[in-house]
Structure 1
Amino acid sequence: MSKYIGEIGLFLTAIIWGSGFVVTSISLDYYSAYQNMAIRFLIGGMVLGLVFFKKIRSITKETIMKGTVLGFILYLAFALQTVGLQYTTPSKNAFLTAVNVVVVPLIGWAIYKKRMDTFEVTGAILALAGIAFLSLQGAGGINAGDVLSFLCAIAFAFHIIYTSLFVKKEDPIHLTVIQMMAASMLGFIVLLFRGEATVPITDSAIFSLVYLGVFATAAAFLLQTVAQQFISETKAAIILSTESFWGMVLSAAILGEIITLKMAIGAAFILLAIFISETKPAFIKTASVREKV
């Protein structure tokens, strides 16, 4: 039962992040990318802090350290993605960021000697292929933006891995609150150095800020952290990769974007990836039982 709780939580996270594509585009009409990051993390941290005020009073120093590590990695990943987008195309940025879906099992194997599940790795590769169909619009040489986008994928992969590692011993709510506040503090420090510390508040931008802070940050990252107690990092990365699929669906529904055959093929690959990562282990288990009988 806990497995399904984890999967549902991550699917909800992916849906929320998919909707974030639309809302972020609205927010960027009023704020710079760096202001956007700092504000959304601040709102997210404040909301969680207020909701779980009594609970977070028992936070330990170890939890603060681990949450700060997650917050630093999270902000780094967002910053690399943002800067990378300035030097490469949005489609390549989206695709290279999503490479984390195959980086996660590789890091787990290389650093932590964790055995790679064949079918989860196959699912990860298929998910990446699906994202390529959804995102890539053309070829072109490798540039600085591509490198930064790939580094962003590695950062997101480490975020998923360390979330799974830390949540085994720490309270997920404590971890989420601390990482939001740590990312926000780092965000405002960056704004000071960039001379963007003055953040104008306009009525037109309030909705996008509130949505990004409350739902795409506080709710989504809390769901992710809680869900990763019950599911492997690789499977978590595969499910979270459906963010691009939900982004496509919601863009079509809200913005009227036309779904092309190429996009439909990409969506099919992602759904196949989830099917394989979910059902193949069950098939193997069944086969093993039959052999023993």
Structure 2
Amino acid sequence: MSNERNIARPRAGLPGWGWKLALAGCAAIWGGSFVVMKDTLDSIEPAWLMTIRFLLASVVVGALFWRRLRDNLDASHLAMGALLGLAWGTAYVVQNIGLDDTTPGRNAFLTATYCVMTPFLNWVVARRRPGLTNVVAALLAIVGVGLVALGDDLSLAMSRGDWLTLVGAFFFAVHIVLVARFSSVHDVMTLTVVQLVVGALVALVTALALGETPPAPETFANPDVLVSLAYLVLLSSCVCTVLQNVGQAHVPPAQASLLLSLESVFAVVASVLFYHELVTPRIAAGFGTIFVAVLVSELLGGRRRKGAEDDPRA
């Protein structure tokens, strides 16, 4: 789930449709990561998994962009990157603890509600009043979550994991608002590396506070665990972060947000195919309503967010 902008637009030869395809590829990778994380949680507890993932990703991204770090790392980048990492790390940790007690599809679509929360949080921080489309999107999201949450007898069927996922979505929205304020005057990749390091520290503190058991050394001898970690670190964290940041320099913000919001759709497809998640007509209607809320918020509401870069996670 970060949406930092590139200050210096990269020189790249891909046509516009190529960058759009790259952003859709990021959404597909992130969608698949919900199933990958769900399986990996059987071997590594949630906060420890996030600690390992973010720490390794920070090493890789830091090595790739060490010149940017050398030229730009100062007290301001450290402070702003730390705030981003605190919000982003909290969002991921809470989301993944929630994933341990819900299905990948529900986790993905409930997480997608951050798109709807963002304009209202931005109203508090930047005094930009949400438009009518934002209100409509919020109402649609509430209806969609209600369809997902209510059982067949109309009783509340939200698990602890579902509630935690909504809390994680809130912190993703906080992160997006902070990025909009910090990224225009800071180097994006420097902020990203600091964010990854602080996110790892947030996850580590959480693991220790919750008393989670560190993974045993033999856990990493399991080929399935190594493949999952490679997917989460190299593809989901490193490759997607770079593609997202570069791609957003070539794709209009509203289109980029829409393409990246496809993550929730890919997550449900992957969950049905690989996790055998049962999607009833009522839950499918809830997913669809949430996705329509995201479309309304990003396509119509995005026209009012002049110059804003409101795209999900790093």
Which residue does 1:113 correspond to in 2? 127
1:222-257 Cα deviation digits (max 9, x unpaired): 45555677637xx84x66543221111233444565
Cα 1:20–1:128 change in 2 (3 A) is: farther
Amino acid at match of 2:213: E
Please tell me whether the aligned partners of residues 40 and 225 of structure 2 are also in contact (alpha carbons under 8 angstroms). yes
Closer/same/farther in 2, CA of residues 168 and 129 from structure 1, 3 Å limit: farther
> Which residue, out of 38, 50, 60, partners 2:73?
60
Cα distance in 1 for residues equivalent to 2:160 and 2:274: 33
Partner deviation per Cα, 1:183-208 (whole Å, 9 max, x = no partner): 11332344445363455312331000
| Correspondence for 1:207 | 227
Residues 132-166 of structure 1, C-alpha deviations (whole Å, 9 max, x = no match) = 65x54624277876664443232111011112222
**Residue in 2 that maps onto 1:151:** 167
- CA gap 1:123/1:36 in 2 versus in 1, 3 angstroms: same
Q: In the alignment, what sits opposite 1:243?
A: 263
**Matched residue, 1:74:** 88
TM-score normalised by structure 1 residue count = 0.75
The question of 1:186 aligning with 2:202 is answered: yes
Residues matched between the structures, number: 279
Preserved CA contact (<8 Å) 2:150 2:157: no
Q: Which has the higher helix share?
A: 1
2:90 corresponds to which letter in structure 1?
Answer: L
Alignment partner of 1:165 is 2:181: yes
Partner deviation per Cα, 1:90-115 (whole Å, 9 max, x = no partner)? 57766654432322111111232113
1:31, distance to aligned residue in structure 2 (A): 0.6
Instruction: Give, in whole Å, the separation in 1 of the partners of 2:276 and 2:163.
Output: 32
Partner of 1:220: 240
User: Contact between 2:54 and 2:197, CA under 8 Å: does it hold in 1?
Assistant: yes
In 2, Cα distance between equivalents of 1:272 and 1:141: 22
- TM-score normalised by the chain length of structure 2: 0.70
Task: Verify the 8 A CA contact 1:98 1:131 in the aligned structure 2.
Answer: no
The whole-number CA distance in structure 2 between the counterparts of 1:123 and 1:89 is 24
Q: CA deviation at 1:21?
A: 1.1
> Is 1:95–1:132's contact at 8 Å kept on the other side of the alignment?
no
Q: Is the 8 A contact 1:172 1:222 kept in 2?
A: no
Q: Which of the residues 194, 199, 213 maps onto 1:196?
A: 213
Q: Which residue identity lines up with residue 232 of structure 2 in the other structure?
A: L
How many Å separate the matches in 2 of 1:192 and 1:155? 21
Q: 1:95, 1:136 within 8 Å by CA — same for their partners in 2?
A: no
Q: Which amino acid aligns with 2:194?
A: I
CA drift at 1:258: 6.3
Letter in 2 for 1:206: L
1:11-60: CA deviation from partner (whole Å, max 9, x where unpaired): 44432221111111221121111111111111211111122122221123
Q: Which residue is equivalent to 2:60?
A: 47
The residue identity in structure 1 corresponding to 2:198 is A
Is 1:231 matched with 2:253?
yes
Unaligned stretches of 5+ residues in structure 1: 285-293
Unaligned runs of 5+ in 2: 1-8, 10-15, 305-314
SS in 1 for 2:169: helix
Tell me how large the CA RMSD over aligned residues is. 3.9
- What is the identity percentage for the equivalent residue pairs of Structure 1 and Structure 2? 29
